[in-house]
Amino acid sequence: MRLSRTLALGASSLVLISACTTGGGGKETITIGSDGFYESKLVAEMYAQVLEADGYTVDRTGLGMGPRKVTTPAIESGQIDLKPEYLGSGLAFFDATKTSSDSDANKTALQEALKTVGGGITVLGYSPGEDTNAFVVRADTAAEFSLTKISDLAAIQGELTWGLPPECETNPLCGGALKDLYGIDFPPAKLQALGACDAPMAEALNGGAIDVAELCSTQPAISQFGFVVLEDDKGTQPAENLAPIVRDDYLAKVDKAAFAALLDAVSAKLTTEELTKLGVEVAVNNRDVADVAAEWLKANGLLQ
């Protein structure tokens, strides 16, 4: 779903000055935004750098601006022109009943939902890799209570301290799924509000401050700390491939096909394995987002 996730990482700017033209086929200045957590900022930075290399001027003021409840209104209002989106969670923001494990179906439904908002927003090509929401526990907790799937948590929910993002209660893929399909009382009796897919959430779980955490499936902390990912046995989490979404009024001012080709080339190389490796560089090795993005783009022949 890509719930709001925040990570206190500074996003460095690599700004190349280029001429700005007007009219279709030009290279209008573009304002790029992202959700607050490291992976969204990293992919947004990749898009920014390939556009800059092609002569676009990029405004990064929207990178890491906050959760989807902030970034979606921002792109609808024109505050930003582009953001990376997770297909399933982006769709669930509008209609969770239409999400599925089929990536193509999620893209089609998301495009339908976006075609009339904010004057129209286009979903470009999506990545082969995906990053889904994962409910995880420590290995000792899994062993103590014989936990292998999310539904196992219902019987012992009151004995556990839950780490969930602040917006979980209103998110159908978090609070809605836990309550309606898994029988988890919401909010749980013992709850700490922490950013999903964030380092503090993983550290709290590893340190014993919480017993259940919502992380992201590509998050390095899962293997780093040996967490047990519980099976989503009710199938609540949809396909979460990444795709850039772009305002139609911006696309009307540039060469749309050439613009899309630049970003699609990036997305096409973002496998689940690559997303996980990149997460290690940023979230574990604490490397600068812009440096990691540039290194990866060069290694994949997308940047000189």
Backbone angles phi, psi at 50, to 5 degrees: -70, -30
What local confidence, expressed as pLDDT, does residue 238 receive?
95
The whole-chain average pLDDT of the chain stands at: 91
What local confidence, expressed as pLDDT, does residue 39 receive?
94
DSSP state, residue 297: H
- Residue 138 shares a structural domain with residue 219: yes
CA angle 273, 274, 278 (to 5 degrees): 120
What local confidence, expressed as pLDDT, does residue 8 receive?
36
User: Which are the contacts of 292, defined by CB distance < 8 A and separation ≥ 6?
Assistant: 42, 278, 281, 282
- Residue 225 shares a structural domain with residue 244: no
Looking up residue 187, the CATH number of its domain turns out to be: 3.40.190.120
- Residue 111 shares a structural domain with residue 35: yes
Asked whether residue 146 is domain-assigned, the answer is yes
- Residue 125 shares a structural domain with residue 253: yes
Rounding to the nearest 10 degrees, give the CA dihedral for residues 284, 63, 86, 165.
70
Express each pLDDT in 236-271 by its tens digit: 999 999 999 999 999 999 999 999 999 999 999 999
Q: Which pLDDT band holds residue 55 (cuts at 50, 70, 90)?
A: very high
Mean pLDDT score, 22-29: 72
Asked whether residue 94 is domain-assigned, the answer is yes
Give me the domain span that covers residue 187.
Answer: 133-229
- Residue 81 shares a structural domain with residue 162: no
- Residue 125 shares a structural domain with residue 247: yes
Looking up residue 74, the CATH number of its domain turns out to be: 3.40.190.10
* Tokens 């809605």 belong to residue: 176
Express each pLDDT in 142-175 by its tens digit: 999 999 999 999 999 999 999 999 889 888 999 9
Mean pLDDT score, 220-226: 92
- Residue 182 shares a structural domain with residue 262: no
Tally of structural domains, the chain: 2
- Residue 190 shares a structural domain with residue 42: no
Asked whether residue 244 is domain-assigned, the answer is yes
- Residue 39 shares a structural domain with residue 126: yes
- Residue 254 shares a structural domain with residue 285: yes
To the nearest whole percent, how much of the chain has pLDDT over 90? 83
Residue 209's SS3 state is coil
What local confidence, expressed as pLDDT, does residue 13 receive?
38
DSSP 47-73: HHHHHHHTT--EEEEEEEEESHHHHHH
What local confidence, expressed as pLDDT, does residue 180 receive?
94
What local confidence, expressed as pLDDT, does residue 283 receive?
86
Order across the sheet with 228-229: list the strands: 191-193, 162-164, 212-216, 133-137, 228-229
- Residue 81 shares a structural domain with residue 223: no
Mean pLDDT score, 28-41: 94
DSSP 243-269: EEEEEHHHHTTB-HHHHHHHHHHHHHT
